[in-house]
Structure 1
Amino acid sequence: MLDFSFKQVQMKNALKIAKRIVVIDHHPTAFNELLPINEVENLELHLDTKNSGAVLAWKYLHKDEPIPLILAHIEDRDLWNFKMDDTRAVTAALFSYPDVFNNLEVFNNVIYNTHALIREGETLLRQYNTDLARILEVNQRSMTIGGHDVTVCNAPPKFSSDIGNMIATTGGVFGATYHDTKKHRIFSLRSIKGGFNVEAIAASYGGGGHKAAAGFSVDRDHVLAKC
């Protein structure tokens, strides 16, 4: 189980029928739910908030081998650090390939060619930033989430992190984006680092995540889906 985990009740039920469950995760929700049952014999936990799910998986499978540069860039974005040069370009290019991790030929072509990804990504970012600004301009409005009046933006999932963080940095308690599916409205919450704990808000709606980045979904008949 990688980069997500069951709630404690669900996990206990799964452990009754599974020989062994391995959980590799970096979300605080996993710590809260699963550490109390860490002593269960057929549950193996690898929890660490300092790394992304991608890097934790690499460490689990490859032990002390060096982390590939592409995974370092993915982690740099996933943790919203952006300490490495060209992370935005690399990840923009990587995300442009459909189903890259399930297509071995495409995977091998891009995963070890970071310089090519940078060139592709720099072009893609121009369009991405234009689209992002337009979405933010026309789709903002106010909603009450978890008792807080916040600015939200209806945005496709690929824009949720950037738009949520842009809203969070311009004031208010936290920023939120959402998109609708046939059965659910899916919310993504963001706050500035060291600021409001959005994981607690997400958890109150059955979701989870990190202190500064979390999410949850509600059914289409929920009050938040009718706003």
Structure 2
Amino acid sequence: IICLRTKHVRCFAFYTSEIYTPKFSCRLDSVTTAVGFTCNEATKVMKKPAILYHYPCPDGAFAALAAHIYFSSLRITPFYFPNTVYSPTRVEDLPLNQIDHVYLLDFVGPSGFVQQLKSKVECVFVLDHHKTAKELLGGGTSVTENVSKVIDMDRSGATIAYDYFKEKLITGNNNKAADSNALKIGEFDRVRRLFEYIEDRDLWRWKLPDSKAFSSGLDDRHIEYDVNLNPSLFQQLLALDLKSVVEQGKISLSHKQKRIDEVLEQSFEISLGAGVFGCCLAVNADSLPELRSELGNQLAVKSRNMKLRGIGAIVYKVPELENNEMLKVSLRSIGDEDTTSISQAFGGGGHRNASSCMLKCSEFENWKVSNRAST
């Protein structure tokens, strides 16, 4: 900012909600090097974190919520980038000159993504639980060069992020921000049960009371999990009342089951990978976007009962791709059936009981047992 009276240049960085004034300035008639130094320092100060999270997925959205609670205590508004399976974020799409730290929540990106990213920013933090993430980066908690990771397949992305950012808030406590931090720690505590229900759903455990009713009630709210399209996302998640969500879910569950039953009747047998990975049942699920996970689980049970693999293939088009020649094949399994080797063979990934990949329509047609029998 230039003061016309004194001809001094002062740099202000809106890194937080408060204006920060560095302890330097220069006159317009000062040497060029001084001006260059000032501008470079301003650019450095203005950098802020970037949160890349799995989308559209409640687990990824709640992981981003944990980051939001933490950074709001610091009065920092990070960049948020929802990451889809069908169109993953590319390093070149990020405003790297404005980013210092990157957090990858509930996803790790395609092969080579972290390696490419770490050379462009100060630090990369990976908080994930998918099997493919473990295979790409290894499990556990470790720090390598400027990459820090927590990969834990016994927790969901949301609860990993919850534990990580709450601990970061507690250990980073200071006297100046003690009141603010105490409020945010209380906010973490208040929503802990919501995170537990999100994990119970995402890991397909269904151990918590009325867990399926909660899942149904959450879906009934049709929340847009892209915070850039829905700026009130985090406020909506923080305002969720567990009891109200469960009660709504109880009402809608029976109706949804009727719709699932109708689609299950249309299931057909496929030969996974054209026979490489055995056979299971599949359905076309373009008409049930909000019920695909539950549909997949019940389809896997039906498949096993028919002496096929305990896997259900939920197949549908992704409108955002604007490509009618591509299908998303979302695999759900029960028990010890591992879907990741199938998805990875076709450029996808996920974890044991839930993974996905993209496939050409013509290739999927070759998977259909009825079509293979006629050729």
**What TM-score, normalized by structure 1, do the two folds share?**
0.87
1:76 and 2:204 equivalent?
Answer: no
Q: Matches of 1:25 and 1:225 in 2, distance apart? A: 33
Q: Matches of 2:315 and 2:125 in 1, distance apart? A: 31
1:176 and 2:313 equivalent?
Answer: yes
RMSD over equivalenced CA pairs, Å: 2.2
Q: Larger Cα Rg: Structure 1 or Structure 2?
A: 2
Displacement after TM superposition at 1:126 (Å): 1.9
Deviations 1:46-74 (A, max 9, x none): 11011111111111111286561111111
In structure 1, the residue matched to 2:341 is: 200
The 3-state SS of whatever aligns with 1:214 is: strand
Picking from 103, 108, 114, the partner of 2:242 is 114
In structure 2, the residue matched to 1:164 is: 296
Over the matched positions of the two proteins, sequence identity in percent amounts to 25
Which AA in structure 1 matches 2:197? H
Deviations 1:63-93 (A, max 9, x none): 2865611111111111111111111111211
For structure 2, list consecutive stretches of 5 or more residues without a partner in the other structure: 1-103, 171-187, 369-375
Judging changes above 3 Å, is the alpha-carbon distance between structure 1 residues 34 and 157 closer, same or farther for their aligned structure 2 residues? farther
In structure 1, the residue matched to 2:271 is: 144
Displacement after TM superposition at 1:45 (Å): 0.6
In structure 2, the residue matched to 1:56 is: 160
Judging changes above 3 Å, is the alpha-carbon distance between structure 1 residues 14 and 109 closer, same or farther for their aligned structure 2 residues? closer
In the alignment, is the contact (CA less than 8 A) between 1:90 and 1:118 conserved in 2?
yes
Displacement after TM superposition at 1:2 (Å): 0.8
The 3-state SS of whatever aligns with 1:124 is: helix
Which AA in structure 1 matches 2:339? V
Judging changes above 3 Å, is the alpha-carbon distance between structure 1 residues 100 and 59 closer, same or farther for their aligned structure 2 residues? farther
Judging changes above 3 Å, is the alpha-carbon distance between structure 1 residues 192 and 32 closer, same or farther for their aligned structure 2 residues? same
Equivalence map 1:67-106=2 (5 Å): 68-99=192-223, 102=227, 103=232, 104-106=234-236
For structure 1, list consecutive stretches of 5 or more residues without a partner in the other structure: none
Which AA in structure 2 matches 1:4? F
In structure 1, the residue matched to 2:364 is: 224
Deviations 1:96-136 (A, max 9, x none): 223365424533432xx211111111112122111111121
1:131 and 2:235 equivalent?
Answer: no
**Total equivalences in the alignment:** 221
